[in-house]
Amino acid sequence: MPLESERHARTFMQWPSRTAIYGSAKALEAVRSSIALIASTIAKFEPVVMLARPDQKAAVRKSLGTGIDVWPIATEDLWCRDSGPTFVRSASGELAVAELNFNGWGNKQSHHDDGRIASRVAENIGLKLFNSGVVGEGGGVETDGAGTLLAHESCWVNKNRNRGSKEAIEARLLDALGGQKMIWAPGVKGEDITDYHIDALARFVKPGQVLIQLPRKKTDGDPWSVSAFETYDILKRAKDASGRSLDIVVVAEPDPSRVRSVKTDFVSSYVNYYVCNGAVISAEFGNDRQDMAAASILRQLYPGREVVSLNIDPIGEAGGGIHCATQQQPVGMAAPQRQ
């Protein structure tokens, strides 16, 4: 699996269709507005394909406006990072899709259509589907594009997704994404629907470099802060597939001033950004000082790219962020799509 910052052919996203997931039509429309905002922003830098239920295609086109393709592939929820196609590439440049066998985050949510999106996109583009047998989600694993994977055990070594030993699960995951070295941190089980996806906490910027978001201090009794510092300590001791120690960059966890959510799983993560051609699309949370500091770090880490910060609070309320809502197709050899 190539590093996200490599050049893309396009970005895939999913149009959420089920009101029941969000609790009300008003909440669903707010999420859809955020999805449209993300899509239109990315479309300024690279092509965007929105996957949507065939009977909603016309309405989605109207919501998105011009410049964004809509493919009639049935969707339920918006999380294309998890249920969408995970692209891998051979040494000769041939693309394929790695099937991660999305099962609704351990059968916590229905996924009759979302569980088939990866295979349907692969068929549409004319790509081989590679299935190592691992079960999980794209947001649950980070790759440096050079053989090193990073993940929380809580969302892979978990009976709600994979049976067998940690070693067997690791082998299947490495096989799926073409990795040689796995860096595991424990993570947190059962506190959110994802069992703590790594892409809300730590991301590979490039081989040998990781960006991690940390709270101001570790608070006993707060599993998120305990896990964040635990992952940080593991990364400080870790070696990557090339035997290098990691350069770790820390961004402060935001203290959202705009959001007063009663939900404990609101995702306020600066590291859940998306790297597209020429830009980094990130979230802002209403604290100008912290938002500007985070944007400054991203500019330093991704020189030559524009950093665009968006208010996507409805998606944070739904439990995710911009990275969760997107999936990149890297440049490579593929057949023309069949729409």
Out of 80, 155, 276, 324, the active site residue is 324
Q: Give pairs for 237-245: CB < 8 Å, separation 24+.
A: 238/183, 239/181, 240/144, 240/146, 240/147, 240/148, 240/181, 240/183, 240/207, 240/208, 241/144, 241/146, 241/147, 241/148, 241/179, 241/180, 241/181, 242/146, 242/147, 242/148, 242/207, 242/208, 244/207, 244/208
In a domain, 45, yes or no: yes
pLDDT tens digit string along 210-228?
999 999 999 888 999 999 9
* Mean pLDDT, rounded, of the chain: 95
In a domain, 224, yes or no: yes
pLDDT at residue 262, as a whole number: 46
pLDDT tens digit string along 142-161?
999 999 999 999 999 999 99
Q: What is the DSSP letter of 183?
A: E
In a domain, 198, yes or no: yes
In a domain, 1, yes or no: no
In a domain, 2, yes or no: no
pLDDT tens digit string along 282-338?
999 999 999 999 999 999 999 999 999 999 999 999 999 999 999 999 999 765 554
In a domain, 142, yes or no: yes
Q: What is the CATH number of the domain that holds 167?
A: 3.75.10.10
pLDDT tens digit string along 12-68?
999 999 999 999 999 999 999 999 999 999 999 999 999 999 999 999 999 998 899
pLDDT at residue 255, as a whole number: 84
**What residues make up the domain containing 114?**
8-330
Catalytic residue check, 324: yes
Number of domains in the chain: 1
pLDDT at residue 322, as a whole number: 98
